[in-house]
Amino acid sequence: MAITLYELAAANPDIRFSPYCWRTRFALAHKGLPTDTVPWHFTEKDRIAFSGQGRVPVLADGETVVSDSWEIALYLERRYPERPSLFGGGRGAAHALFINAWADTIVIPGILRMVIGDIFRALRPEDQGYFRESREARFGRPLEAVAEGREQRVVEWRQSLLPLRGVLARQPWLGGEAPDYTDYIVLGSLQWPRCISGFALLEDADPVRDWRDRGLALFGGLGAAAATV
Amino acid sequence: MAITLYELAAANPDIRFSPYCWRTRFALAHKGLPTDTVPWHFTEKDRIAFSGQGRVPVLADGETVVSDSWEIALYLERRYPERPSLFGGGRGAAHALFINAWADTIVIPGILRMVIGDIFRALRPEDQGYFRESREARFGRPLEAVAEGREQRVVEWRQSLLPLRGVLARQPWLGGEAPDYTDYIVLGSLQWPRCISGFALLEDADPVRDWRDRGLALFGGLGAAAATV
């Protein structure tokens, strides 16, 4: 029985833009697991209520339901140990947790403030209200004010990618000689703005750009073929 | 034959303050390898010329000489595989490289600008000239100007530790259930200002502080017992 993955979708349901859902998509491709993906919108809480919470990714694998991209990665590794490893065994997952936390606390918050207006514009009208209200409550100001000054802020954000460049100067992937879940964590984070926004985050000469493009070409161009705004 | 480690020393040769040397000290303790540590000062390039370069840590293990803390860690893991693992096998080292790069590009540059004046004051007069000249050339301004405003900058620096806090919310060490080289990378980076400066970087309630103190207590209090200014 195929796995089902609920993914965050824009008004155009082909546009799947969640950084966390992309981590899971790449992880499933790495494991070579056939997957049915289902578009889901911010306000459709009832459609994933069976997961016991209200956010995607939600993965349904037979009777098993898992939410949270990190938990899903650990689940897939545990459930399908005979397939290519996401973490490489040993303390691979323990160390990968740092990269996950770095992406979640540094990379993603920086991107969100730059593309928050683009996200809003790409949503269905019925999701726009929810998005504006919940995000404005979180930031304590209007979406438009959060998004302001991104041309300046992107320079500082690019600086925050220094650790990634440090790794890429020594090895081709975060996972070493071949890509693994640590790459998908950051690739997913960059696929998000790529799908939902026209704003150029990475400079052409940035080694991160080259690494991202190699990542988008994996699995027959899974990432590169994704629908974008 | 015991291993010899050349460590950066202050005017008081008991004060060993290099973040990179501390990574190696913790790594050697983790491996349970008896080590003779030798104080070395910035201008004593001739004393480590046998290593083919001019920076510490330099490790001499019989006929083998290795410099650069990351290379030393890889060497110890390869040379002493029967002793407790620094990286946990698999892709542990590949993933740890990211934590190493994060410490080197984010944590350490932030600390350096806060303690650069304290370092200068703790050096021998003959090293002070070298230190001032080389660092002022790197920063393009006087040491005193680099150090300015640290009470404000420390707030932003603490923010940069968010990924570490993210990990510590889920597991007790960067290495998982037990400390490993990924912990020593960051512990060494924090031991540096602790030894050379009285400036308080970490707030008492910060989970990073608790983790650091657990780290300093390892190996019979190796880090906690270190001489400080």
Q: What is the pLDDT of residues A47-101, one digit of tens each?
A: 999 999 999 999 999 999 999 999 999 999 999 999 999 999 989 999 999 999 9
- Bridge-partner residues for A218, per DSSP? none
- Check the CA dihedral B149-B155-B156-B158 and report its sign: positive
Q: How much is the average pLDDT of A201-225?
A: 98
- Bridge-partner residues for A173, per DSSP? A176
Which chain A residues contact residue B92 at CB under 8 A? 88, 90-92, 95
Task: Mark residue B38 as left, alpha or beta (left: phi above 0; alpha: psi -120 to 50; beta: remaining).
Answer: beta
Closest CA to A154 of A213, A122, A113: A113
What pLDDT score does B215 carry?
98
What pLDDT score does B62 carry?
95
Cα–Cα distance between B38 and A202 in angstroms, integer?
A: 45
E-strand spans in chain B? 3-8, 35-40, 58-61, 64-67
- The pLDDT confidence band at residue A1, using thresholds 50, 70 and 90, is low
Which chain A residues contact residue B170 at CB under 8 A? 97
Are the beta carbons of B95 and A175 separated by less than 8 Å?
Answer: yes
φ and ψ of B7, to 5 deg: -120, 145
| From B105, B166, B167, residue closest to A166, measured CB to CB | B105
Cα–Cα distance between A13 and B131 in angstroms, integer?
A: 59
H helix runs in A142-229, sequence order: 143-147, 150-159, 162-168, 181-196, 207-216, 218-221
CB contact at 8 A, A2 and A36: yes
Q: Cα A15–A17–A20 angle (5° rounding)?
A: 145
- Check the CA dihedral B163-B165-B167-B173 and report its sign: positive
Token digits of residue A125: 């009208």
In this prediction the ipTM stands at 0.97
Q: What is the pLDDT of residues B133-190, one digit of tens each?
A: 999 999 999 999 999 999 999 999 999 999 999 999 999 999 999 999 999 999 999 9
Answer with the residue of higher pLDDT: B1 or A195.
A195
Are the beta carbons of B95 and A174 separated by less than 8 Å?
Answer: yes
Interface test with A, best of B91, B102, B161, B167 (most A CBs within 10 A): B91
CB contact at 8 A, A50 and A65: yes
Are the beta carbons of B162 and A94 separated by less than 8 Å?
Answer: no
Cα–Cα distance between A25 and A209 in angstroms, integer?
A: 20
H/E stretch holding A17: none
Cα–Cα distance between A116 and A146 in angstroms, integer?
A: 8
What pLDDT score does B2 carry?
87
CB contact at 8 A, A31 and A75: no
Q: How much is the average pLDDT of B99-123?
A: 98
Q: How far is A176 from chain B (nearest CA, A)?
A: 5
Token digits of residue A22: 């992309």
Cβ pairs A/B, distance under 8 A = 129
Cα B56 from chain centre = 11
| From A89, A91, A180, residue closest to B180, measured CB to CB | A91
Are the beta carbons of A92 and B88 separated by less than 8 Å?
Answer: yes
Interface test with A, best of B95, B164, B183 (most A CBs within 10 A): B95
Residue B211 has pLDDT above 70, yes or no: yes
What pLDDT score does B137 carry?
98
Identify residues of B whose CB sits under 8 angstroms from chain A CBs. Answer: 85, 87-102, 104-106, 160, 162-167, 170-171, 173-177, 180, 182
Task: Mark residue B169 as left, alpha or beta (left: phi above 0; alpha: psi -120 to 50; beta: remaining).
Answer: alpha
pTM score: 0.98
Cα–Cα distance between B206 and B183 in angstroms, integer?
A: 16
Q: How many residues does chain A have?
A: 229
Residue in chain A closest to B87 (alpha carbons) equals A91
Are the beta carbons of A162 and B90 separated by less than 8 Å?
Answer: no
Q: How far is CA A38 from CA A4, A57, A144, A219, A220, in A?
A: 7, 10, 30, 20, 20
C-beta atoms surrounding B178 within 10 Å = 15
Residue A44 has pLDDT above 90, yes or no: yes
Q: What is the pLDDT of residues A110-148, one digit of tens each?
A: 999 999 999 999 999 999 999 999 999 999 999 999 999
| Amino acid at position A87, single letter | F
Are the beta carbons of B92 and A96 separated by less than 8 Å?
Answer: no
Cα–Cα distance between A71 and A84 in angstroms, integer?
A: 18
Residue B197 has pLDDT above 80, yes or no: yes
What pLDDT score does B1 carry?
67
Cα–Cα distance between A138 and A51 in angstroms, integer?
A: 24
Q: What is the pLDDT of residues A10-30, one digit of tens each?
A: 999 999 999 999 999 999 999
E-strand spans in chain A? 3-8, 35-40, 58-61, 64-67
State chain B's mean pLDDT as an integer.
97
Q: How much is the average pLDDT of B121-131?
A: 97
C-beta atoms surrounding B137 within 10 Å = 8
Cα–Cα distance between B175 and A64 in angstroms, integer?
A: 29
